[in-house]
Amino acid sequence: MIFGSELLIIFKLRIFPILKESLRIMYMRSNLNSFFLMFLLFCIPLAQASEYQILISKKNNELIVKKAGEVVKKYRISSGKGGKGTKRRQGDSKTPQGVYRISQFKKSSRFHYFIQLDYPNLIDAWYGYKNKVIDAKDFKRIATAYKKHTAPPQDTKLGGFIGIHGLGEQNEKKIVIHEEINWTEGCIALTNEEINELRKFVDIGTPVIIKE
């Protein structure tokens, strides 16, 4: 797995040019004005290197904490009950796949603690616009948030409030369900004790890479 400066180099040389070309094609087929196109293509910020990285494998039901490429901690997780594939719209109960950042921490009466991710990201927004899930106005809102390093809007048809959370009031039944099935509406679930520990490793901006 590649992290830090190597990841930024790969993004600059390989992923970013592809994304720019995709956005250019999208623009040619839409009503987005030229000012916004220039803003989007040349002002997209690159994520800063972080001390820790979070890797999530939906297939393996596993969350891995890494520091400088070394595994620090592993946790067993539950993910979205919507099954395989990435999140595409509100209500599909799928866990998104891609590269996200932690955008917020908050206590939760329902889930004990909630670590929110910056879903939808720019790629999610591009897909949603291309496939008419969201309109140009919502695409611009998400892109503007991305540019400003702020949390993206959570009220579009792509869905929102995706993050890592605990179980809330824990009992034997909940623990059994958590260990045996993927039960969330699209988030990543840990036990209360595990999310308390995870909080020690992460901060605003910590990258979270989610794969199938």
Structural domain boundaries of the chain?
A: 47-119+159-211
Encoded tokens for 131: 């496939």
Give the span between the Cα atoms of 135 and 51, in whole angstroms: 36
CB count in 10 Å sphere of residue 2: 10
Strand 163-165 and strand 112-117: the pairing is: antiparallel
Residue 7 three-state SS: helix
Give the span between the Cα atoms of 195 and 36, in whole angstroms: 39
Give the span between the Cα atoms of 89 and 81, in whole angstroms: 14
Task: Give the pLDDT of residue 48.
Answer: 54
Encoded tokens for 113: 């603690």
Indicate the helix (H) or strand (E) that contains 117: strand 112-117
- Residue 43 Rama label (left phi>0; alpha psi -120 to 50; beta): alpha
Are 114 and 108 a contacting pair, CB within 8 Å? yes
CB count in 10 Å sphere of residue 166: 23
Give the span between the Cα atoms of 194 and 112, in whole angstroms: 11
Task: Give the pLDDT of residue 69.
Answer: 86
Statement: 47-119+159-211 belongs to CATH 3.30.428.10: no
- Mean pLDDT in consecutive groups of 10 residues from the start of the chain, 212 residues: 50 52 50 46 52 94 94 96 91 93 92 95 92 94 89 94 93 89 95 96 93 92
Task: Give the pLDDT of residue 170.
Answer: 87
